Amino acid sequence: MERPSRPSPSPPVQPTPSHDDIEKGSRRPCHKSKIPPPPPQPKPWKPWLMPLAFVANTSVFIYTMYVNDCPHTSGTSKCILYEYLGRYSFQRFKENPLLGPSYITLKKLGGLDWTQVVEEKEYWRLFSCMWLHAGLIHLLINMLSLLGLGIRLEHEFGFVRIGPLYMISGFGGSLTSVLSLARKRIVSVGASGALFGLLGSMLSELITNWSNYTNKCSALSTMLLIICLNLAIGFLPRVDNSAHIGGFVSGLLAGFVLLMRPQYGYISSKHVPEGYQIKHKVAKHQVHQYVLFGISLVLLITGFAVGLQRLRRP
């Protein structure tokens, strides 16, 4: 989906006479144009954090398959593609239909398990599970989403904003997932919570920066359709939709906080050439942006605090 275009800001300004103009007795300033050139557009960021996350996720999956060692733990007859992959061969479909390791291996390496998190107090699993994947199919789907959404957002907003947003979304997805497991013997893994958070942040960015966009309704309806389709996939068997929803809501709220832009028409004083004066100044941010910022920040902190408290007292 293509992002809607933004118009280039160029509010009306009027030049003010300089000291030299007054001494020469001129009635008008000697500027060739009454309107200064528009301020320079922000330079796009060069993405590196999301590609690094791609490498990290892929490397962790390779290491997971190395530790799994299907031929020695399950026997060569129960491994898929043993003749070609050897130690890195997959568990049989009956155990893992996603072409991956055993759930024992995923749990050992940091998968999200209710007993380990709540009873054993291994809270680090809320972060470690984000870098594990249940299988090759799971990894491919998530990495395609990461390259499509993550790099695009980092290119526009930079790693300083997208990095924290990715981690907040992943943590929110993990927290929601472990609370929904409630003593079930299920191991949850994957970057899906963080990726759904990126999707949610795209929606909040569109809403909070509404004045900067053209064809708003078309962009909003298209984005809502994509979100609904992705959430619907979460109701398929073996998919942890609670992590998707938790990550999406966390990313949506974090987007209101981290992705707020100056409104259309705002020009910073450092971009106004000497000798010019802005006739109609535009505020940097609109009231609704500050309101959404404050409400989202409070909800995000409160939600995490309540969730962590419930983990301590199940």
**Residues annotated catalytic, as ranges:** 192, 244
**Per the structure block, which two tokens stand in for 266?**
């705002």
Q: Give yes or no for a contact between 294 and 50, defined as CB atoms under 8 angstroms apart.
A: no
User: DSSP string of 131-184?
Assistant: G--SSHHHHHHHHHHIIIIIHHHHHHH-HHHHHHHHHHHHHHHHHHHHHHHTT-
Please report which helix (H) or strand (E) contains residue 79, including its range: strand 79-80
Q: Cα dist. 247→173, 197, 212, 251 in Å?
A: 4, 5, 26, 6
3-class secondary-structure state, position 110: coil
The 8-class DSSP code of residue 116 comes to I
CA-angle at 131, arms to 189 and 260, nearest 5°: 105
Question: Nearest CA to 112 among 130, 99, 85?
Answer: 130
Work out the number of other CB atoms within 10 angstroms of the CB of residue 227: 17
Burial label for 80, CB within 10 Å (0-12, 13-18, 19+), is middle
At 303, the amino acid letter reads G
> For residue 255, how many C-alpha atoms fall within 13 Å in the half-sphere facing its CB?
25
